[in-house]
Amino acid sequence: MSQAIIELKNVNIYQGSNLILGNVNISVDKGEFVYLVGKTGTGKSSLLKTLYGDLELINGEGWVVGYNLRELDWKKVPYLRRNLGVVFQDFQLLTDRNVNENLKFVLKATGWKDEKLMDEKIADVLDKVGLKTKGFKMPFELSGGEQQRVDIARALLNSPKLILADEPTGNLDPETSDEIMQLLFHISRDYGTAIVMATHDYIVINKFPARTIKTEAGKVWDNARVSM
Give me the pLDDT at residue 123, please. 96
What are the backbone angles phi and psi of residue 34, rounded to the nearest 5°? -135, 130
Q: How far apart are CA 85 and CA 81, in angstroms?
A: 7
Give me the pLDDT at residue 26, please. 94
What are the backbone angles phi and psi of residue 68, rounded to the nearest 5°? -80, 115
Asked if residue 114 lies in contact with residue 93, where contact means CB atoms within 8 angstroms, the answer is: no
pTM: 0.90
Give me the pLDDT at residue 6, please. 96
Q: How far apart are CA 127 and CA 23, in angstroms?
A: 41
Which ranges of 59-208 would DSSP assign to H, the alpha helix?
77-82, 99-109, 115-128, 144-156, 174-191, 202-207
**List of the chain residues with pLDDT < 50:** 1, 225-228
Give me the pLDDT at residue 171, please. 85
Give me the pLDDT at residue 224, please. 54
Give me the pLDDT at residue 82, please. 85
CA angle 29/30/36 to nearest 5° reads 55
pLDDT tens digits, 61-101: 999 999 999 999 888 888 898 899 999 877 789 999 999 99
